[in-house]
């Protein structure tokens, strides 16, 4: 199949984009990297009247270290994140996850803003944004606002932007010194979406006990859950093998309730059990990036 006809708009500035989006509303889709949108148009899963090409909007293509964190423009390509020395310094895990997206050619085009708005439940960037509690900077004709991605991401493929809103950039909060983040990505075939991603963000206190633990798991086409409060009773405990075993048990039980216990679900849970243990060991150990991909 081929895409259905549409009107094409190529814009140069965010101001133009906000104005046109306000005028066209839901009749228009925004074309950034197009690595997911164009297949959807080709399969005619989407038949918009208007396509707004934002690839020329250079003001959305930047990676800036700021006082309170790392700001990444919505148009920044995955390969740019994967090769960025700034990202490597501030959020090495984000850099590694960007390098695991799709394949080399796809990473040259695909953008962080597009991936976050699409909110594919198996995708890398949404999971990273959930793990680090990133905030999106949103512009519309009504002005600018920021919103936590955890609040916007309601369900798979549903990033709840308000009418006429566009994502301009994403801000990853500055991380404490004693933070270690590790992720495991389980691919069945190279280049495909991973069947499973699990990610751990661990903050240690001065005595080496747990000061904070966040775990996000993408598996089974559900909105990746952010697991945080369920570890509150473990604060101050050293993340030794026994404690890590307890965390793995809780995570596997929680995910089991979400993705079901049929044959596919049981298989994913068995993989999760092993990978989760690797992530936690990496986050509790000395390596900043932990175990391999």
Partner 1 sequence: MIISLTVNGEVRDVAVEPHYLLSDVLRDRLDLTATHVGCEQGICGACTVLVDGQPARACLLFAVQMEGHAVTTLEGGAPSVELRALRAAFHTHHAQQCGFCTPGILMTFAAYLRDHPDCDEAGVRAVLGGNLCRCTGYGPIVRAIMAASAALREVADV
Q: Residue 99: count other Cβ atoms within 10 Å of its Cβ.
A: 16
Smallest distance from the beta carbon of 97 to partner 1, in angstroms?
15
Cα separation, 127 vs 197, whole angstroms: 8
Query: How far is C-alpha 45 from the geometric centre of its chain's CA atoms?
Result: 23
How many angstroms separate the Cα of 137 from the Cα of each of 113, 127, 264, 268?
A: 10, 18, 37, 34
What stretch of H or E contains 79?
A: helix 78-83
Cα separation, 82 vs 242, whole angstroms: 34
Select from 216, 215, 133 the least CA-distant residue to 176. Answer: 133
Q: Is-contact 11 17, C-beta < 8 A? A: yes
- CA 135, 136, 139: angle at the middle one, nearest 5? 145
What stretch of H or E contains 268?
A: helix 263-284
Smallest distance from the beta carbon of 60 to partner 1, in angstroms?
16
Smallest distance from the beta carbon of 181 to partner 1, in angstroms?
22
Select from 104, 52, 117, 39 the least CA-distant residue to 78. Answer: 104
Looking at the Cβ atoms of 83 and 246, the one nearer to partner 1 is: 83
Smallest distance from the beta carbon of 13 to partner 1, in angstroms?
16
Smallest distance from the beta carbon of 265 to partner 1, in angstroms?
26
Looking at the Cβ atoms of 55 and 140, the one nearer to partner 1 is: 55
Looking at the Cβ atoms of 6 and 153, the one nearer to partner 1 is: 6
Smallest distance from the beta carbon of 20 to partner 1, in angstroms?
15
Looking at the Cβ atoms of 106 and 291, the one nearer to partner 1 is: 106
Smallest distance from the beta carbon of 120 to partner 1, in angstroms?
14
Looking at the Cβ atoms of 190 and 242, the one nearer to partner 1 is: 190
DSSP summary character for residue 62:
-
Smallest distance from the beta carbon of 4 to partner 1, in angstroms?
7
Q: Could you list the residues that contact partner 1 (CB under 8 A)? A: 1-8, 10, 31, 34-35, 38-39, 41-43, 51, 53, 55, 79, 102-106, 108-109, 189-191
Looking at the Cβ atoms of 55 and 175, the one nearer to partner 1 is: 55
DSSP summary character for residue 3:
P
Tokens of 255: 């995910």
User: What is the tally of helices (H) and strands (E) in the chain?
Assistant: 11, 14
Cα separation, 185 vs 83, whole angstroms: 19
């Amino acid at each position: 199949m081929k895409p259905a006809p549409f009107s094409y708009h190529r814009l140069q500035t965010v101001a133009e984009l906000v104005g046109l989006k306000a005028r066209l509303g839901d009749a228009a889709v925004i074309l950034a990297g197009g690595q997911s949108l164009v297949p959807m148009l080709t399969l005619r899963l989407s038949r918009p009247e208007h396509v707004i090409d934002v690839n020329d909007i250079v003001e959305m293509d930047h990676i800036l270290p700021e006082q309170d964190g790392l700001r990444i423009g919505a148009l920044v390509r995955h390969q740019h994140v994967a090769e960025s020395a700034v990202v490597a310094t501030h959020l090495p895990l984000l850099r590694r996850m960007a390098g695991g997206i799709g394949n080399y050619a796809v990473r040259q085009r695909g953008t962080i803003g597009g991936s976050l708005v699409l909110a594919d439940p198996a995708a890398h960037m949404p999971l990273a944004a959930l793990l680090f509690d990133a905030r999106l900077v949103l512009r519309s004709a009504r002005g600018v606002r920021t919103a936590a991605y955890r609040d916007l991401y309601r369900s798979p493929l549903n990033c709840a932007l308000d009418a006429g809103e566009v994502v301009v950039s994403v801000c990853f909060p500055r991380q404490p010194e004693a933070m270690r983040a590790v992720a495991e990505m389980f691919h069945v075939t190279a280049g495909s979406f991973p069947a499973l991603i699990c990610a751990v963000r661990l903050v240690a206190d001065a005595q080496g006990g747990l000061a904070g633990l966040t775990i996000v798991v993408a598996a089974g086409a559900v909105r990746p859950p952010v697991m945080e409060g369920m570890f509150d009773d473990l604060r101050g405990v050293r993340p030794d093998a026994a404690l890590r075993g307890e965390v793995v048990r809780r995570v596997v039980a929680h995910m089991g309730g979400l993705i079901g216990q049929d044959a596919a679900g049981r298989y994913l849970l068995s993989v999760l059990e092993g990978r989760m243990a690797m992530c936690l060991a990496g986050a509790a150990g000395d390596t900043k990036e932990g175990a391999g991909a």
